[in-house]
Amino acid sequence: MPDHTTPQQLQPMPTDWRRALAVVAHPDDLEYGASAAIAAWLDEGRTCAYVLATRGEAGIDTLSPAEAGPLREREQRESAAAVGVDTVEFLDHADGVIEYGTALRRDIAAAVRRHRPELVLTLNHHDTWGGVAWNTPDHRAVGRATLDAVADAGNRWIFPELVDDGLTPWNGVRYVAVAGSPRPTHAVDASAGLDRAVASLLCHRTYIEALTDEEPERYCQTFLEGNMKAAGERFGGRPAVAFELFSR
């Protein structure tokens, strides 16, 4: 009889792609694990651009949005540079109250057409994190809109105004990888990217200091190593970043 107590092993991510686009809601969303995979991909000669729906302006209780937005944008650009990403764009939706709908889909579809990736990466769009903690509306909205916008980007009759703006349809996305999903299917060996992932997360120091009383360096190292070790138990014992992979 099958052993239902043994977690299903994660499969290696496909490698038949060159350009990635990461689309998430907030500064720091990519740094809680996905950046280690991005660092490893860049080492292989691939490219990745970041698109963020907001500037994270509502994320720090002790700072007004007018103060927090520019600060968190700066920290995000530094964070991206720490793993080797130099293209970071912001869509300027309102932090905390992102609405799933055609406006969000249009903005993400435009980004897909602009960058023409073969792999799109986003964050957990499911209702919960592992069935334990409720996911935020922003994450759910952006994740789901990204999945839909990938198809929108390839259809010239959806958002035809994008063609007028010079953004012709792009039907070349082969995969959508969802980081932080409670239903992972694939993984990337994070060994080579772990140190850069820690450095990248540490760039969000102001946010982390507001989030926890723990010393930031220790917090970042412990959090990432713990998550990657847990994923690695389903990936041959190697530190890993897990993804739920959708193929098109």
Q: Note the pLDDT of residue 1.
A: 46
Distance CA 92, CA 54 (A): 5
- What are the structure tokens assigned to 132, written together? 């334990």
- What are the structure tokens assigned to 227, written together? 């998550």
The rounded Cα 229 to chain-centroid distance in angstroms is 19
**List of the chain residues with pLDDT < 50:** 1-2
Q: Note the pLDDT of residue 207.
A: 94
The rounded Cα 105 to chain-centroid distance in angstroms is 16
CATH of domain 20-247: 3.40.50.10320
Enter the pTM of the model: 0.95
For the chain, give every domain's residue range: 20-247
Task: Check if the beta carbon of residue 119 is closer than 8 Å to that of residue 20.
Answer: yes
Summarize pLDDT for 117-143 with one digit per residue, the tens: 999 999 999 999 988 899 999 999 999
Task: Check if the beta carbon of residue 104 is closer than 8 Å to that of residue 92.
Answer: no
| Amino acid type, 174 | R
Q: Note the pLDDT of residue 6.
A: 64
**CA-wise closest residue to 6 among 202, 234, 169, 232:** 234
Distance CA 57, CA 75 (A): 12
Task: Check if the beta carbon of residue 106 is closer than 8 Å to that of residue 150.
Answer: no
Q: Note the pLDDT of residue 142.
A: 98
Number of neighbours of residue 164 by Cβ within 10 angstroms? 8
Q: Note the pLDDT of residue 49.
A: 98
Distance CA 33, CA 189 (A): 11
Summarize pLDDT for 88-125 with one digit per residue, the tens: 999 999 999 999 999 999 999 999 999 999 999 999 99
Over its C-alpha atoms, the chain yields an Rg (Å, rounded) of 18
